[in-house]
Amino acid sequence: MTTAMLTEALASLTRHRGVFGALVADADHGLVVEATVQHGVSADAIAALAASLYRKAQLSSRAAGLGDVSLLRLEAGGGQLCAIGCGEVVLVVVAEARTNVGLLRAEMHRAAERLA
Amino acid sequence: MSDDIRRLSDELARDPSSLVYLALGETLRRRGALDLALKVALRGLERHAHNPAAHDLVGRVAADKGELERALEAWTMTTRIAPSHAGARRGIGYVLFRLGRAMEAEAHLAAAAADGDDEAAAALSRVRAMLGIGAPTELEVPAGAPAELATEPPSSPPRALRAPSDDAARTLFAETLADGEHTALLLDADGFVVAGAYVTEDGEDVADQIGAELSGVRDEAERMVKHLDLGALRSVVFETDVATVAMTPVGDDAMLLLAASKSTPLGLVRRVADRCADRARHWLSEVA
């Protein structure tokens, strides 16, 4: 996938109402590969924390015999975060708490297929 | 068809996920309609796989039918979910005695009697009287000769649902979980199981392992919401190869963990998790 295609995939996610930002992070090290985020949003912090959370869920799920994690969603009072693993990278979206998760989830799966 | 059986059947038809099948199955059993009672019990079990009363009902019907191995299996499963289930423990003692395993029967009944089960104590007295007090291990009671032990399988209501707090904790979510496709655990801050059960298809309770392995996810999630200033953590949901797992904070340091089969719609997972969390909050406020 070219950088332009990656940027377009992330842009399609950030066009959703309530989305603050979308990024692709290295799954092992939590470093930003590509990001499209609103002003004031720290892509570096999101990448590091989201990759860490996804990795923890992945290891825990495997240890519990539940297999690999395909999608993770964190919901908090002030926002939510969704992450999908795509091989060596993690696709992450941060959005308002009220954002339509069903639509976002479907769009993330489409974007993840393009990343794979 | 009698009025009460018709009424219970109608009620079950209106709400197939209700627990009325327990009363219907028991009524049919008492009327001697054993094949139908077993059918009702097994259908109920499909929806309420973690309900000890469902397994107990299968045990009672199977024992009535003379299917002792099946009864033993059902009652063993009952005690895995609710270890102090008095009816199941008496049932196991009864079946073991019928199978000629008198020593094991005596041990089961003695354990139940030691926990204050008067009916088990009475059965234990009869067993010991037949075997010889103090020397039960030397005797082998032939199968089919236990008429003095009990004239029928234990049929009293399942006491476990109203007695020991240990069982109350293990079965905390049994009614909230409408079918066997979900299982729920309440974990403390260290990942120890406070309530609920996680029983695999082969009957093994892996709640401790699951709780310990997955509880660390909450710590990581709390770290994330704090650093990103996202407010209070409401839930973490992750979809895996075989399941959807939802984790919801309950109070300051407990967490509700719900695991549902992968085929369960995500909206339903969220609703069931919310109901279980409410149940857990209510229960914690009662036991505090």
- What percent of chain A shows pLDDT beyond 90? 61
CB contact under 8 A, A67 and B242: yes
Residues of chain B with pLDDT under 70: 1, 129-167, 178-180, 201-203, 288
The pLDDT of residue A53 is 93
Q: Print the SS3 string covering chain A.
A: CCHHHHHHHHHHHHCCCCEEEEEEEECCCCCEEEEEECCCCCHHHHHHHHHHHHHHHHHHHHHCCCCCEEEEEEEECCEEEEEEEECCEEEEEEECCCCCHHHHHHHHHHHHHHHC
- Tally C-beta pairs within 8 A across A and B: 100
pLDDT of residue B156: 39
Q: What is the pLDDT of residue A18?
A: 92
As a whole number of angstroms, the distance between CA B79 and CA B87 comes to 9
Residues of A in contact with B236 (CB under 8 A): 57, 72-75
Q: Which chain B residues are Cβ-neighbours of A69 within 8 angstroms?
A: 238-240
How buried is residue A18: exposed, middle or buried, by Cβ count under 10 Å (0-12/13-18/19+)?
middle
Q: What are phi and psi of B179, to 5 degrees?
A: -145, 180
B213: chain A residues, CB-CB within 8 Å: 60, 63-64
To the nearest whole percent, how much of chain B has pLDDT over 90?
A: 17
Three-state DSSP class for B182?
Answer: strand
pLDDT at B230: 92
Contact A77 B230 (CB under 8 A): yes
CB burial of residue B90 (10 Å; 0-12, 13-18, 19+): buried
Round the average pLDDT of chain A to a whole number and report it.
Answer: 90
Instruction: Give the closest of A56, A66, A78 to B245, CB-based.
Output: A66
- What pLDDT is attached to residue B206? 82
| Cβ distance of A76 and B225 shorter than 8 Å | yes
At A71 the pLDDT is 95
Q: Which residues of A touch B (CB under 8 A)?
A: 45-46, 49-50, 52-53, 56-57, 60-61, 63-81, 94, 97, 102
In A, minimum Cα distance to B267 occurs at A102
Please state, in angstroms and rounded to a whole number, the distance separating the CA atoms of residues B43 and A53.
40
| pLDDT at B254 (0 to 100) | 92
User: How many H helices and E strands in chain B?
Assistant: 11, 5
Does residue A78 register a pLDDT over 60? yes
Question: What pTM, to 2 d.p., does this model score?
Answer: 0.61
For residue B187, the one-letter residue type is L
Residue A71 has its nearest CB partner, among B221, B232, B238, at: B238
Is B224 part of the contact surface with chain A (CB cutoff 8 Å)?
yes
Which pLDDT does position B16 carry in this prediction? 80
Q: Would the pLDDT of A75 be above 90? A: yes
ipTM score assigned to the predicted complex: 0.92
Q: Are A76 and B230 in contact (CB under 8 A)?
A: yes
Q: How far is A34 from chain B (nearest CA, A)?
A: 19
**pLDDT given at position A116:** 75
Contact flag B224-A49 (C-beta cutoff 8 Å): yes
- Looking at residue B130, its pLDDT comes to 65
Q: What is the pLDDT of residue B179?
A: 60
Task: Output the CA torsion sign for B39, B43, B48, B50.
Answer: positive
**pLDDT value for B185:** 93
Minimal C-alpha gap between A5 and chain B (Å): 27
pLDDT attached to residue B142? 33
Nearest CA in chain B to A52: B220
Among A44, A75, A103, pick the best mutation site for testing chain B contact (most B Cβ within 10 A): A75
A3: confidence class by pLDDT, cuts 50, 70, 90: confident
Q: Give bridge partners of residue A34 from the DSSP assignment.
A: A24
